[in-house]
Amino acid sequence: MGLESAELRLLEALQAKPDGITLELRVVGGRAGRRHARSLRARWYPGRPWRVPRRAWRSADLVHLIGLDLRPPPPERPFVATIHDLAAMRFRDEGTLPVWTSDLVQRASRLLTPSRFTAHELQELLGVPPERIRVVANGPGQPVSPAVEPLSEDELAALGIRGPFFLRMGGHSKRKNVPLLLAAWPAVRRRTAACLALAGPPPQAENAARAASLDGVVVLDYLPAATMPRLIRAACAVVSTSTYEGFGLPPLESMAAGTPVVAVRSRAVEEVCATAAVLVENDPEALADSLVRVIEDAALRQQLVEAGLRRAECFSWERAADALLAVYRELDGGPVAASDDAVPRSGHE
C-alpha cells in the first residue's frame, strides 16, 4: 500500500515538471497489472516478471525499473533501477531476491536507493561501487498534512477506538518487531488508559493471539486510503518498532501530518527523523516509558509536532523528481521514468 502510493506520487511529480517531458507508462503483468495500469493511466502488456514481452521495451531511450519485480530489459536497452531495501538478504521471512538480481545489479547504469542506509547495504551485500549508486529520497506516500481533518470521536468509536490512542502501521514480519510493542503495551495501558490501534495487514497467528489478549488493543486491518491520513492526524503519536527499513514511510508521513513519532532506533529511521522523533532502544521498558512520556507531556508533544513538520519539509516528491531527472540527464539517455512494473517512454523519440 505504502510503496504503491509513493510510486504514484512520484510519477505525478515527474509529470508536473514544466520542462516538456512526456511520460508514457507501460505496465507488464496479469490482472493485477491491468488494474494497476488503469490507476496509472498506462498501457498494459500481458506478461510475467520472468517473461516480459520485448515490445514492452520498444522505443524506450532509457528504462527505469522501480523495484526488482521485472527481469531487466535486453542488453541493447540502457536502464536504471531502484532498490528499496535488501531485507530479503537479512531476514529469512522476507522471501528471496529474484534470480535476475545479480544480472540487474551488474548491468544497470545506475542503482537508485531511497536512503543512504540502503546505499550502504548495496555496497556491503552486493558489492556495488558507490559511484554507481544515487540516493533519491522519498516523499510521504499518503496525502498528509496538518490541514487534514482528524477522525472525529464518533468515527474513532466506530473503529473501536475510545480516548487518546497510539497508532502503529505496517506488516508483521520479523523485522517489524511487533512483539516488542505488545510486550511494552500492558505498562502503557496501565499508566495511561490509552488505546493502541494496529493498522495494516492482518497479524500473524502469534501476534494476533497476543494482541487479542491485551486490554486496549484494536486491530484495524486495512482501511480505506482516504481514512488513513485522518487516522494519523487523530493519533496522539505514531509508534514504529521496525529494526530494518529501506526508508521508513510511516515516520515521515506522521511528521508531515503533525503527529509525534516514537520509534525504535535504526539507521534508516535516524536518517529520516533526525532529532524530530523520540528514538528509543530495542527494549520494551524503554519503549513503554517513552510512550507514557509523550502522552503525558503536552510540551514535549508540541515540540515533536513542530520539529517533525520542519523535518518533513526536507522530503518531497518534487525534490525526488528533480533528483531523478538529474540522474537521467547524467546518463544522457533521455528523461524517462517508470514504476516497478511499468516501462515508460520519453516524449522526445
Does residue 15 sit within a domain? yes
Asked if 22 and 50 sit in the same domain, the reply is yes
Please tell me whether residue 113 adopts helix, strand or coil conformation.
strand
* pLDDT tens string 24-67: 677 888 888 888 788 777 888 898 888 888 888 888 888 889 88
Strand order in the sheet with 278-280: 217-221, 195-199, 165-169, 237-240, 261-264, 278-280
Q: What is the pLDDT of residue 337?
A: 39
Does residue 213 sit within a domain? yes
d(CA 26, CA 225): 24
* pLDDT tens string 269-323: 999 999 999 999 999 999 999 999 999 999 999 999 999 999 999 999 999 999 9
Query: Is a pLDDT exceeding 60 seen at residue 333?
Result: no
Mean pLDDT to the nearest integer, 7-35: 77
Asked if 158 and 303 sit in the same domain, the reply is yes
Q: Label residue 6 by pLDDT band (50, 70, 90).
A: confident
**Per-residue cell: 40:** 496509472
Which amino acid would we find at residue 334? G
Asked if 173 and 89 sit in the same domain, the reply is no
125: domain CATH number is 3.40.50
Asked if 121 and 227 sit in the same domain, the reply is no
Asked if 328 and 234 sit in the same domain, the reply is no
Does residue 12 sit within a domain? yes
The length of the chain in residues reads: 349
Asked if 129 and 224 sit in the same domain, the reply is no
Q: What is the pLDDT of residue 38?
A: 84
Q: Label residue 334 by pLDDT band (50, 70, 90).
A: very low
Query: Is a pLDDT exceeding 50 seen at residue 266?
Result: yes
Does residue 321 sit within a domain? yes
Asked if 85 and 59 sit in the same domain, the reply is yes
Mean pLDDT to the nearest integer, 133-153: 95
d(CA 292, CA 237): 11
Asked if 119 and 163 sit in the same domain, the reply is no
Does residue 18 sit within a domain? yes
Asked if 237 and 171 sit in the same domain, the reply is yes
d(CA 282, CA 330): 41
Does residue 286 sit within a domain? yes
Asked if 38 and 71 sit in the same domain, the reply is yes
Q: What is the pLDDT of residue 345?
A: 29
Determine which helix (DSSP H) or strand (DSSP E) holds 55, and give its type and residue range: none
Query: Is a pLDDT exceeding 50 seen at residue 146?
Result: yes
23-27, 123-127, 203-207, 337-341: which has the minimum mean pLDDT? Answer: 337-341
Asked if 132 and 220 sit in the same domain, the reply is no
Query: Is a pLDDT exceeding 90 seen at residue 80?
Result: yes
* Mean per-residue pLDDT of the chain: 89
Q: Label residue 19 by pLDDT band (50, 70, 90).
A: low
Provide the percentage of residues in the chain whose pLDDT is more than 90: 67
Residue pair 256/232 in contact (Cβ under 8 Å)? The answer is: no
233: domain CATH number is 3.40.50.2000
Q: What is the pLDDT of residue 55?
A: 87
Does residue 165 sit within a domain? yes
Asked if 161 and 101 sit in the same domain, the reply is no
**Per-residue cell: 71:** 527481469
Q: What is the pLDDT of residue 349?
A: 25
d(CA 332, CA 224): 41
Residue 149 is given by DSSP the state P
- The range of the structural domain enclosing residue 245 comes to 153-312
**Total domain count for the chain?**
2
* pLDDT tens string 194-231: 999 999 988 888 889 999 999 999 999 789 889 999 99
7-16, 88-97, 250-259, 298-307: which has the minimum mean pLDDT? Answer: 7-16
Expressed in angstroms, the distance from the first to the final Cα of the chain is 33
Does residue 11 sit within a domain? yes
Query: Is a pLDDT exceeding 90 seen at residue 134?
Result: yes
Query: How many whole angstroms from its chain centre is CA 317?
Result: 13
Task: Tell which wins on pLDDT, 21 or 290.
Answer: 290
Task: Tell which wins on pLDDT, 19 or 154.
Answer: 154
Query: Is a pLDDT exceeding 50 seen at residue 123?
Result: yes
